[in-house]
Chain A
Amino acid sequence: MHIKQEIAERHVLTLTVDNEAGTLARIAGMFTSRGYNIDSLTVADITEDHSVSRITIVTKGPPEVIDQIIAQCERLIPVHKVTDLTDAGPHVERELALVKVSGAGDKRVEAMRLADIYRARVIDATVSSFIFEITGGPDKIDTFVQLMRELGLVEVGRTGIVGLMRGAEAS
């Protein structure tokens, strides 16, 4: 007998939650204990009084598992609302990455030129290195990082995705 793998689709979930001790552990731990995947996770408080946080989770699973994930999130006491951006329709997803590249000569010039094309900003520079700041969808960042690999990539830091519904309504 062998363990079977299931076909999964990617979903971006956004949760508003009480900003209190243990909420993140409760949500992240629930994913682990029930065997769900987390591809990326971001969290920060979003209200004036710091009482509510938004958590954005990118997960993978078959449609019925995604539905379970949402139901299990909603079941947690500190969770106010869960929106499946992927299912809900038009939405924006953005991620920020810091990309450190070191090199000299042609490679350094090429890195600068590509950064310009990708609208990445230089936020730190030495005679032998740059740190670029780039925002965008995950595909754009993937591609940029891939290009930098050939031009002296040292390291990358990524925030994970945040997302909101398009239009006037709250997510």
Chain B
Amino acid sequence: MAEKSGAEILIDSLLAQGVDTVFGYPGGAVLPIYDTLFQHPKIRHVLVRHEAGAAHAAEGYARSTGKPGVVLVTSGPGATNAVTGIADAFLDSIPMVVITGQVATNLIGSDAFQEADTIGITRHCTKHNYLVKDPSELAAVVTEAFHIATQGRPGPVVIDIPKNVQVASTEYDRHGTNSSKRYAPAGDADFAAITKAVELLATAKSPILYTGGGIINAGPDASKALRELAALSGAPVTSTLMGLGAFPAESDQWLGMLGMHGTYEANMAMNQCDVMLCLGARFDDRVTGRLDAFSPNSIKVHVDIDRSSINKTVHVDLPIVADVGKAIRQMISVWNSRKRQAAKLDEWWSRIKGWRSVGSLNYPENKSEIMPQFAIERLYALTKDKAPIITTEVGQHQMWASQHFHFDEPNKWLTSGGLGTMGYGLPAAIGAQMGNPDALVIDIAGEASIQMNIQEMGTASQYRLPVKVFILNNEWMGMVRQWQQLTYESRYSNSYSDSLPDFVALAEAYGWKGIRCDDPAKLDDAIAEMIAYDGPVMFDCRVTKEANCFPMIPSGAAHTEMILHSDEVSGTMDDEAKALV
């Protein structure tokens, strides 16, 4: 057997995992790995401008392709800069393997140059992490890391490799790698529980399918299975922010997103249903509103691959720990073998129709200024034929995008749901474009969020990635300002986006195209110009400055207490509600 260095073993192990793209940034403690990478053109390295960008780009790549994202950064600040992206991937269950350099083993603990306790820092925002102290362990660790990152509930895994371990050599044979089988997540569901779930769904008078990001993570077939189950049962379908696209928005059975900024019909149906089938979602606080008033009269079935998601916040009647795609397939097969017919749901649907007629996503028309909702609507109308991949930053623009952009397929909607990371959208778009070179990739951004990772414009320029950044520029950290208006009597503490750059000039400085539009009548042409341009575009869409995002369930309120329009805004809240923000 031949001897290889740790760095060579690492790169060969990545190749064995089918890795062809790595997002990273070099530095002292990863120089041996970068030197090996130099000699392996099969792996394309995308040089970002900041390590946070590398992690988010890997997330965008993973979410849009279904393959794990791979990150390579140096020790100390390289690793700490990547932590936000790692934490983001942890909360949104994104498969990711992060390789960090570390100071040599004999220097660990000595406060050496660029030393940070990466394993300690990332311990609770990774699914698992490793400090590799011997190159002979490396191949098995990489194999197990990819297994853990991608199987079960996906998540980030960090491999911290000291510099001397990268240089030291050991005997290596790719095919001789023995990896432990200690991680074996759930697969098929318990048959009796599936049968019970089918009976509940088939005999319900007012059922609802409440779906989440788990369906996307379970792969394209899970989305197909969901569509079949919905067709068989005739039940309405709603989804969390993370699950958008798993069920087609064009379907009559689609209620729109639920939760804090979800539609009235979705939240009312959740509140009034008699059977709730939760598929790959986790009863997040942004979804449930006030817990003691959450869907008080329903029997709840929860399918989740992560046992710790069950009964975490909401008590469920029938827990099913399984891969959600497999569980839905099992339900379909039980449904068919028992020759179940869809129950008569006319009365339920007529109630839903009543809620729909409220038109909770309506907004005031404005001929002189661009309403942000209008901008999203037009962006959707003019791009939907191209089935674009949409990423977002975090804030009002994100919620408006989730409400007014519609998705019919999974893996097209990339957003930071759990951690709510401003600065996610642009690097995620870069990662998505790397994984989908022919797709139209648009980052719907706000003028505040985009500045959090704006340096990644350089990355798009370098790799000629034709990403589009569509900024809803209202000169405010809009969601912060909205909360201040609703909760703190309009005391706008530090939420104004002062000293904004000229986004068009900035675009040009990076070799991008810059477009500005502030006239609703000219918006369509400007969007068409953006789509037609074969290169990166920054679109400064000047919108109405103080529009609020409605509907909204205020903090600490129940689904039935939605604010539908801005004239219902009270301007203050009690301390209990403030604390729930």
Chain A residues proximal to chain B, CB less than 8 Å:
1, 18, 21-22, 25-26, 29-30, 33, 64, 67-68, 71-72, 74-78, 80
User: Is A77 in contact with B183, judged by CB distance below 8 angstroms?
Assistant: yes
A sample of 12 inter-chain contacts (CB < 8 A) reads A29-B124, A30-B124, A64-B311, A64-B315, A67-B311, A68-B311, A71-B308, A71-B310, A71-B312, A77-B127, A77-B182, A80-B182
**Which residues from chain B contact A29 at a C-beta distance below 8 Å?**
123-124
| Interface assignment of B307: CB less than 8 Å from any CB of chain A | yes
State the total of A-B contacts with C-beta under 8 angstroms. Answer: 40
**Which residues from chain B contact A21 at a C-beta distance below 8 Å?**
131
Q: How far is the CA of A110 from the CA of B252 in the complex (A)?
A: 84
| Interface assignment of B518: CB less than 8 Å from any CB of chain A | no
B321 and chain A: residue at smallest CB distance = A71
CB-contact partner of B131 in A1, A22, A68, A77, under 8 A: A22
| Interface assignment of B306: CB less than 8 Å from any CB of chain A | yes
User: Is B306 in contact with A22, judged by CB distance below 8 angstroms?
Assistant: no
User: Is B148 in contact with A74, judged by CB distance below 8 angstroms?
Assistant: no
8 Å CB contacts to A: which residues of B122-140?
Answer: 123-124, 127-128, 131
**Which residues from chain A contact B575 at a C-beta distance below 8 Å?**
1
Q: How far is the CA of A78 from the CA of B311 in the complex (A)?
A: 23
| Interface assignment of B111: CB less than 8 Å from any CB of chain A | no
Contact A77:B308 (CB < 8 A) given known A22-B123, A25-B120: no
| Interface assignment of B347: CB less than 8 Å from any CB of chain A | no
Distance (whole angstroms) from the CB of B496 to the closest CB of chain A: 29
Chain B CB within 10 A, most for which of A25, A64, A68, A77 = A77
**Which residues from chain B contact A18 at a C-beta distance below 8 Å?**
182
8 Å CB contacts to A: which residues of B89-130?
Answer: 119-120, 123-124, 127-128
8 Å CB contacts to A: which residues of B566-581?
Answer: 574-576, 579
Distance (whole angstroms) from the CB of A159 to the closest CB of chain B: 26
Interface string of B279-316 (1 = CB under 8 A from A): 00000000000000000000000000011101110010
**Which residues from chain B contact A67 at a C-beta distance below 8 Å?**
311
User: Is B123 in contact with A26, judged by CB distance below 8 angstroms?
Assistant: yes
**Which residues from chain B contact A80 at a C-beta distance below 8 Å?**
182
**Which residues from chain A contact B124 at a C-beta distance below 8 Å?**
29-30, 33
Distance (whole angstroms) from the CB of B306 to the closest CB of chain A: 7
B574 and chain A: residue at smallest CB distance = A1
**Which residues from chain A contact B131 at a C-beta distance below 8 Å?**
21-22
**Which residues from chain B contact A68 at a C-beta distance below 8 Å?**
308, 311-312
**Which residues from chain A contact B119 at a C-beta distance below 8 Å?**
22
**Which residues from chain A contact B308 at a C-beta distance below 8 Å?**
68, 71-72, 74-75
Distance (whole angstroms) from the CB of B161 to the closest CB of chain A: 15
Contact A74:B120 (CB < 8 A) given known A1-B575, A22-B131: no
Q: How far is the CA of A68 from the CA of B310 in the complex (A)?
A: 9
**Which residues from chain B contact A26 at a C-beta distance below 8 Å?**
123
Q: Add 9 more A-B contacts to A1-B576, A18-B182, A74-B308 (CB < 8 A).
A: A1-B574, A22-B119, A25-B123, A64-B315, A67-B311, A68-B312, A71-B312, A75-B307, A77-B128
User: Is B579 in contact with A1, judged by CB distance below 8 angstroms?
Assistant: yes
CB-contact partner of B307 in A22, A30, A71, A78, under 8 A: A71
Q: How far is the CA of A72 from the CA of B309 in the complex (A)?
A: 9
Q: How far is the CA of A1 from the CA of B574 in the complex (A)?
A: 9
Q: How far is the CA of A156 from the CA of B576 in the complex (A)?
A: 44
Q: How far is the CA of A25 from the CA of B120 in the complex (A)?
A: 8
**Which residues from chain B contact A22 at a C-beta distance below 8 Å?**
119, 123, 131
Distance (whole angstroms) from the CB of B140 to the closest CB of chain A: 13
**Which residues from chain B contact A25 at a C-beta distance below 8 Å?**
120, 123
A78 and chain B: residue at smallest CB distance = B182
Q: How far is the CA of A120 from the CA of B340 in the complex (A)?
A: 69
Q: How far is the CA of A76 from the CA of B574 in the complex (A)?
A: 39
Q: How far is the CA of A169 from the CA of B293 in the complex (A)?
A: 44
Q: How far is the CA of A29 from the CA of B119 in the complex (A)?
A: 12
**Which residues from chain A contact B310 at a C-beta distance below 8 Å?**
71
Distance (whole angstroms) from the CB of A87 to the closest CB of chain B: 15
B575 and chain A: residue at smallest CB distance = A1
Distance (whole angstroms) from the CB of A166 to the closest CB of chain B: 27
Q: How far is the CA of A64 from the CA of B315 in the complex (A)?
A: 9
Contact A75:B123 (CB < 8 A) given known A1-B575, A64-B311, A68-B311: no
Distance (whole angstroms) from the CB of B150 to the closest CB of chain A: 14
Q: How far is the CA of A64 from the CA of B314 in the complex (A)?
A: 10
**Which residues from chain B contact A64 at a C-beta distance below 8 Å?**
311, 315
Q: How far is the CA of A30 from the CA of B125 in the complex (A)?
A: 10
**Which residues from chain B contact A1 at a C-beta distance below 8 Å?**
574-576, 579
B307 and chain A: residue at smallest CB distance = A71
Q: How far is the CA of A75 from the CA of B182 in the complex (A)?
A: 12
Q: How far is the CA of A74 from the CA of B184 in the complex (A)?
A: 12
Q: How far is the CA of A109 from the CA of B484 in the complex (A)?
A: 71
**Which residues from chain B contact A33 at a C-beta distance below 8 Å?**
124
A18 and chain B: residue at smallest CB distance = B182
**Which residues from chain A contact B574 at a C-beta distance below 8 Å?**
1
B185 and chain A: residue at smallest CB distance = A75
8 Å CB contacts to A: which residues of B170-187?
Answer: 182-183
User: Is B148 in contact with A77, judged by CB distance below 8 angstroms?
Assistant: yes
A34 and chain B: residue at smallest CB distance = B124
User: Is B306 in contact with A75, judged by CB distance below 8 angstroms?
Assistant: yes
Distance (whole angstroms) from the CB of B581 to the closest CB of chain A: 13
B152 and chain A: residue at smallest CB distance = A75
**Which residues from chain B contact A71 at a C-beta distance below 8 Å?**
307-308, 310, 312
Q: How far is the CA of A75 from the CA of B576 in the complex (A)?
A: 32
Distance (whole angstroms) from the CB of A24 to the closest CB of chain B: 11
Q: How far is the CA of A21 from the CA of B137 in the complex (A)?
A: 14
